[in-house]
Each structure stands twice: as structure tokens, then as C-alpha cells.
């Protein structure tokens, strides 16, 4: 309550001044309270609390008026004063309620104000975008300027290097000609060292063959490795054409010195090693005495032989079997027939066939001494070279499936061991009566992963891959180290299925106790009947003996 609200009169009585109050805060309508029900509850609760407090304050004011002013204020005047005090106490209630309204904290924006605000925001955004674009343009310009400076520096360094190289090569700044050091262009002191090797007969063919073929076999010894040629083949087409052209330009009769001088005028580097004596040996002396100039016939033949690229003769190296055509024919026929039957041939079997034919037809070859002091022994390298050069064969790889052991073979062996130990212990079987028998497959021709056959063959058939040609050998041995006779089981049903009495060493095999019989089936496997034959004909006679 302010000083202006209560006016003390001269008589000491309180008088309530009714000063009008203006509320500048807008009030909420019912529609606003409908949108904000929670705030309305809070406002109502505050109003109710304020009413109670105001009522209490009014009672206090009544008590104060009764106690303090009762002697001076009459009863009627007190009755008129109480409503004014109540009205005065209730005035702050409307101001406090207005401060707690939600709409008192912002102002509703009109359409005109919104348009102005959007226009200002657009202007600020445009200014900021323009500033960002200008910054990007400036950064790009600075970057391009730096790149130009660096490029100019690089180009200047490059030009300086080129200038230094030109000066080192004899160029004088300000002149168009350059100095030449004659010592650097002296071709006489540096002849072409590769010319002898390049002029070697069939040089390019050998190089192509060496590069295209994959290295195989054992490595060459140091003394057998390729060496570059030391002498020049002057009959090479590229060299002889220059010699012939130079001879036509010199006066006749030809003189070696004049021809050599003419050659060195045009190509000093290649013909630096050529001498007058060599050219003099090429010129026909008899024709020169008659006043004619011509090359010797032998020289022209060397030039023409091999179309000018292989002068000097032909290959004269023949094998040691060259003087024995009959032996070579037998070896070739034997090997060809075996391959025709699909037999796999390796170097071991081929060498055995060759040694057998040579030992039978020309045994003196094994006593022949070679150029290095060794004796001929038909080595694997000789057999390999014979197959390639004579028959045109090469080694080709084949495939075959391998047999595998059962997964539980260890368990099977363990059970067999305990079974035998149990029988031997319980029945006290002596060592002489314990016989171990095995069935072993004997292949006629053991195959390998590769075989020798015609070079370039696409299909290489080999016996023993899809089917096996073999027989079953059943050896038996007792625990007392006595070897019993062996049984051989062959495919077929007749007597011709196994070796006849005329076979080599047949009598020796029978004397050792060998028994041969047909399996009576289409396989060479042992069966029930062959096992009966084994027990009755081999094991039982041993026990009786």
C-alpha cells in the first residue's frame, strides 16, 4: 500500500483515497484459456490462494482499526471504511494475475511486420552468400597465381639443365655450331664387338629357339655353355653385299688394299677387323693373271650355301649308331611297336631296350673310347638325344588314379594281431606251423606319370591307367623262416592264359615250387577255388613234410 493510498487527516483518522488504476496488460479471453487449460488451473489456484490471504489481511486490518482507532472513530464511520480497505487490498491481485499470464511475454506479429522481417532476413542472407562467393573466388585466384609461379620456376630450371647439357656437348652460347671432340667420334678405336656373334650362321634361329623353349634337364657345365663367336663371318648377306658393292667401285684388276679402303670409307666400324690378306684369298689369282677380276668359286659357293646365312659347311655330327643302320632300325621298330600297344616307356626301359640290341648286334661299341677319354655306355642323355633326333619323340605327361588304404586300416591290423596271438597262445602253435600268405599284384609294365611318344601328339594312351594288365602272386612263408612255393593267378580260363613250358626259365620256376593256374574268371584276382589250390597244393604238402 503506497503513501498516496492512505491519507492521514489532521484529525488523525484514516481516509482511503480511491485512486483509479489502469491495467496495461491484456487479459486472456475464454478462447485462449481453452487452448491452455493447464495454465488456467494454475491461475485459478493462485486466485483462490490470494483471496484467502486477502481475507486474512482484511481481518487484521479490522483488528488494528478496532484497537488503535476505536476511541477516535465512530461506529458508522468504521462500517464505511471496511469495504474500502477490502477494495484496496484486492487491487494488487489483478496486477499480479496479469504478470503471470503467458501472453504477457511476447507480442503478436502482424502481417506487415512479418513481411518486413522476411525482407531483412533475405537481404542479410544474400549479403552473406555474396561475401562467401567472393572469398572462394579470391582463394582460387591466389592458388592459380601460386601454380603459375611454381610452373615458371620449374620451366626455368629445365631450361637451365638443357643449357648446361648443350654447353657440355660443345655448344657455345651465341653461336649456331657446336664444338666436336674428335676422340669421342673415333670409330676405329671402338669396333663393334657383337658383330662376330651377330654374323654367326643361324644366330637368330638359335636365339629364338633358346628363348621360346622352356629350360629343362640338368644344367650345362661351364665348359659346355654357350660362348660368343670371336671371328666374323664375312659371308653374311649384310656384310657380303657391302663387299661386293665396294669391289664394283674400285678399278680392275682388283687389289685387296683398294677394296678394303673403299669398305672403310663407307663402314669403318664393321670392317675395321677385315684385312687385306683375307680379301686376297677370296680373289681368283689365275683370273687376275689373265687380267680379269672375279671371286673364287669356293667363295661363291660358301655365299650361296644355306642362302648366304649358313656358309662354311653342314652338320656332320652323327651318333655312334650311325654306322649300324640295322641296329637303329631294330631299336626304332621295337620302341614304336611298344608305343603302338600303349605301353608306357620311360628312359629306364628305353635304355634297357637299346642296350640289349647294341649288346646283341654291336658289342664292340661299349669298348669304343670317346674323344674325352671315356667309353660309350648308352647313358640316359644319349638315349634322350636319340629319341628326339631320330624318332622325333618327346616326353609327355599322363594321369592315373592312385589306390588308397582303408580309413580304419590300423584297427584292422590290430585286431588281426590279437587274434593270431590268442590262437598261438591257447593252442601252442609252433613256429613251423605258422604260415603267412599274401596276395600281391604284379604289373607287366609298371607305368609312370609320363611316357616318351611322338612329339606334338594330342592324345597319349597308356596301358595301366584305365585298366591294368597284371597277375596275382601269392607268396607264403612260415614263422620258422621257410619260404614256400609261390602261386601265380592269371586272367583267363585256358592253359594259354599263363606261361607255357617253352617260356624262358620255366623249368627253374617249377623247380622252386611255383604253381601257375588260370583264375577261370575275367580277372586275375584270387578267389575261393584258387585258395583251395593254394592250401591243397602248397601249404598242406609243407605241413606233411
Reply yes or no on whether the pLDDT at 310 is more than 50: no
The DSSP secondary structure of 328-382, one letter per residue, reads: HHHHHHHHHHHHHTT----HHHHHHHHHHHHHHH-GGGGG-B-TTS-B----HHH
Q: Can you tell me the mean pLDDT for 433-446? A: 85
Residue with more model confidence, 32 or 415: 415
pLDDT attached to residue 174:
75
> CA–CA separation, 263 vs 246, rounded Å?
6
pLDDT attached to residue 449:
62
Q: Are strands 515-518 and 487-490 parallel, antiparallel or unpaired?
A: parallel
Q: pLDDT-based confidence at 161, cuts 50/70/90?
A: very high
C-alpha 517: how far from its chain's center? 58
Minimum mean pLDDT range among 12-21, 193-202, 266-275, 345-354 = 12-21
pLDDT attached to residue 483:
92
Q: pLDDT-based confidence at 425, cuts 50/70/90?
A: very high
Q: Would the pTM count as exceeding 0.85?
A: no
Residue with more model confidence, 37 or 429: 429
pLDDT attached to residue 370:
79
Q: CA-CA-CA-CA torsion for 273, 277, 282, 285, nearest 10 degrees?
A: 160
> CA–CA separation, 237 vs 310, rounded Å?
10
Which helix or strand (DSSP H or E) is residue 100 part of?
none
User: What tens digit of pLDDT does each residue of 515-527 get?
Assistant: 999 999 988 889 9
Peptide linkage before 253 cis (omega within 30 of 0):
yes
C-alpha 48: how far from its chain's center? 90
Tally the C-alpha atoms within 13 A of residue 469's C-alpha that lie toward its C-beta.
Answer: 12
CB 286 within 8 A of CB 295: no
Q: pLDDT-based confidence at 430, cuts 50/70/90?
A: very high
- Classify the phi-psi angles of 127: left when phi > 0, otherwise alpha if psi is within -120 to 50, otherwise beta: alpha
Q: Is the dihedral of CA 524, 528, 534, 539 positive or negative?
A: positive
Q: Which three cell numbers stand for residue 108?
A: 503478436
Range with top average pLDDT, 20-24, 219-223, 262-266: 262-266
CB 395 within 8 A of CB 451: yes
Percent of the chain with pLDDT over 90: 31
> CA–CA separation, 192 vs 195, rounded Å?
6
pLDDT attached to residue 392:
84
Q: What are the b/e assignments for 94-118, b being 16+ CB within 10 Å?
A: eeebbeebeeeeeeeeeeeeeeeee
Percent of the chain with pLDDT over 70: 66
Minimum mean pLDDT range among 165-169, 381-385, 442-446 = 442-446
Q: Where are the chain's structural domains?
A: 6-20+28-99, 132-168, 195-203+229-308, 325-391, 409-544
CB 454 within 8 A of CB 392: yes
Reply yes or no on whether the pLDDT at 394 is more than 70: yes
pLDDT attached to residue 5:
41
Q: Can you tell me the mean pLDDT for 253-262? A: 91
pLDDT attached to residue 175:
72
Reply yes or no on whether the pLDDT at 129 is more than 70: yes
Q: Which three cell numbers stand for residue 63?
A: 483488528
> CA–CA separation, 402 vs 399, rounded Å?
10
Distances (CA, A) of 24 to 3, 99, 103, 104: 22, 10, 13, 10
> CA–CA separation, 165 vs 159, rounded Å?
10
Reply yes or no on whether the pLDDT at 223 is more than 80: no
Tally the C-alpha atoms within 13 A of residue 91's C-alpha that lie toward its C-beta.
Answer: 17
pLDDT attached to residue 496:
86
pLDDT attached to residue 203:
67
> CA–CA separation, 539 vs 544, rounded Å?
9
The C-alpha R_g of the chain, in whole angstroms, comes to: 63
Q: Can you tell me the mean pLDDT for 37-57? A: 46
User: What tens digit of pLDDT does each residue of 187-204 get?
Assistant: 555 556 677 777 776 666
Q: Can you tell me the mean pLDDT for 319-327? A: 87
Q: Which three cell numbers stand for residue 329?
A: 632300325
DSSP state of 484: P
Mean pLDDT, the chain, as a whole number?
Answer: 76
> CA–CA separation, 384 vs 504, rounded Å?
31
User: What tens digit of pLDDT does each residue of 62-111 get?
Assistant: 444 444 444 444 444 444 554 555 455 555 545 555 556 666 677 778 99
User: What tens digit of pLDDT does each residue of 447-476 get?
Assistant: 566 777 777 666 666 655 555 678 999 999
> CA–CA separation, 351 vs 383, rounded Å?
6
What end-to-end distance do the CA atoms of the chain give, in Å?
151
Distances (CA, A) of 433 to 298, 476, 506, 535: 89, 12, 29, 13
Which helix or strand (DSSP H or E) is residue 87 part of?
helix 75-99
CB 273 within 8 A of CB 168: no
pLDDT attached to residue 216:
65
Reply yes or no on whether the pLDDT at 121 is more than 80: yes
> CA–CA separation, 243 vs 249, rounded Å?
10
Tally the C-alpha atoms within 13 A of residue 300's C-alpha that lie toward its C-beta.
Answer: 7
pLDDT attached to residue 252:
86
Reply yes or no on whether the pLDDT at 251 is more than 50: yes
Helices (H) and strands (E) in the chain, counts: 18, 10
Which residue from 5, 21, 14, 20 is spatially nearest to 82, judged by alpha carbons? Answer: 14
Q: pLDDT-based confidence at 540, cuts 50/70/90?
A: very high
Phi, psi dihedrals of residue 152, rounded to the nearest 5°: -65, -40
Amino acid at each position: 500500500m503506497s503513501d498516496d493510498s492512505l491519507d492521514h487527516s489532521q484529525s488523525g483518522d484514516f481516509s482511503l483515497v480511491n485512486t483509479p488504476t489502469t491495467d496495461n496488460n491484456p487479459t486472456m479471453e475464454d478462447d485462449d484459456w481453452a487452448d491452455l487449460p493447464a495454465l488456467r488451473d494454475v491461475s485459478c489456484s493462485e486466485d483462490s490462494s490470494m483471496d484467502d490471504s486477502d481475507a486474512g489481511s482484511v481481518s487484521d486490518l479490522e483488528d488494528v482499526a478496532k484497537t488503535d482507532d476505536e476511541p477516535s472513530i465512530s461506529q458508522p464511520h468504521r462500517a464505511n471504511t471496511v469495504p474500502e480497505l477490502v477494495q484496496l487490498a484486492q487491487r494488487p491481485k489483478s496486477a499480479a494475475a496479469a504478470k503471470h499470464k503467458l501472453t504477457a511475454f511476447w507480442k503478436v506479429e502482424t502481417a506487415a511486420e512479418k513481411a518486413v522481417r522476411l525482407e531483412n532476413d533475405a537481404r542479410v542472407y544474400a549479403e552473406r552468400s555474396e561475401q562467401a562467393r567472393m572469398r572462394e573466388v579470391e582463394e582460387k585466384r591466389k592458388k592459380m597465381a601460386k601454380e603459375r609461379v611454381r610452373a615458371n620456376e620449374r620451366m626455368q630450371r629445365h631450361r637451365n639443365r638443357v643449357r648446361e647439357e648443350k654447353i657440355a656437348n660443345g655448344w657455345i652460347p651465341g653461336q649456331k655450331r657446336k664444338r666436336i671432340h674428335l676422340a669421342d667420334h673415333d670409330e676405329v678405336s671402338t669396333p663393334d664387338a657383337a658383330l662376330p656373334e651377330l654374323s654367326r650362321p643361324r644366330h637368330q634361329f638359335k636365339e629364338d629357339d633358346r628363348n621360346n623353349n622352356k629350360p629343362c634337364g640338368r644344367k650345362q657345365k661351364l665348359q659346355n655353355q654357350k660362348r660368343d663367336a670371336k671371328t666374323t663371318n664375312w659371308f653374311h648377306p649384310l656384310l657380303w653385299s657391302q663387299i661386293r658393292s665396294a669391289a664394283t667401285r674400285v678399278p680392275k684388276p682388283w687389289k685387296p688394299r683398294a677394296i678394303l679402303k673403299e669398305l672403310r670409307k663407307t663402314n669403318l666400324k664393321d670392317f675395321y677387323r677385315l684385312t687385306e690378306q683375307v680379301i686376297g684369298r677370296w680373289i681368283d689369282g689365275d683370273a687376275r693373271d689373265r687380267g680379269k677380276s672375279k671371286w673364287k668359286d669356293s667363295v661363291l659357293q660358301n655365299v650361296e650355301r644355306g642362302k648366304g646365312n649358313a656358309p662354311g659347311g653342314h652338320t656332320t655330327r652323327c651318333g655312334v649308331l650311325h654306322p649300324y643302320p640295322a641296329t637303329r632300325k631294330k631299336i626304332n621298330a621295337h620302341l614304336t611297336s611298344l608305343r603302338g600297344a600303349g605301353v608306357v616307356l620311360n628312359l629306364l626301359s628305353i635304355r634297357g631296350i637299346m642296350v640289349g640290341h647294341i649288346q646283341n648286334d654291336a658289342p664292340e661299341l661299349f669298348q669304343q673310347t670317346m674323344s674325352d677319354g671315356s667309353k660309350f655306355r648308352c647313358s640316359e642323355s644319349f638315349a634322350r638325344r636319340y629319341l628326339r633326333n631320330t624318332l622325333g619323340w618327346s616326353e609327355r605327361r599322363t594321369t592315373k588314379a592312385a589306390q588308397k588304404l582303408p580309413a580304419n586300416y590300423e584297427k584292422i591290423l590290430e585286431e588281426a594281431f590279437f587274434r593270431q596271438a590268442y590262437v598261438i597262445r591257447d593252442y601252442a602253435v609252433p613256429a613251423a606251423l605258422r604260415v603267412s600268405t599274401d596276395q600281391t599284384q604284379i604289373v607287366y609294365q609298371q607305368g609312370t606319370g609320363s611316357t616318351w611318344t611322338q612329339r606334338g601328339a594330342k592324345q597319349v594312351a597308356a596301358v595301366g591307367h584305365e585298366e591294368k594288365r597284371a597277375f596275382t602272386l601269392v607268396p607264403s612263408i612260415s614263422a620258422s623262416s621257410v619260404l614256400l612255393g609261390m602261386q601265380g593267378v592269371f586272367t583267363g580260363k585256358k592253359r594259354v592264359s599263363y606261361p607255357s613250358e617253352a617260356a624262358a626259365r620255366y623249368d627253374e620256376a617249377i623247380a622252386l615250387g611255383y604253381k601257375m593256374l588260370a583264375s577261370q574268371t575275367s580277372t586275375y584276382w584270387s578267389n575261393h577255388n584258387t585258395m583251395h589250390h593254394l592250401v591243397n597244393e602248397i601249404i598242406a604238402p609243407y605241413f606233411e613234410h
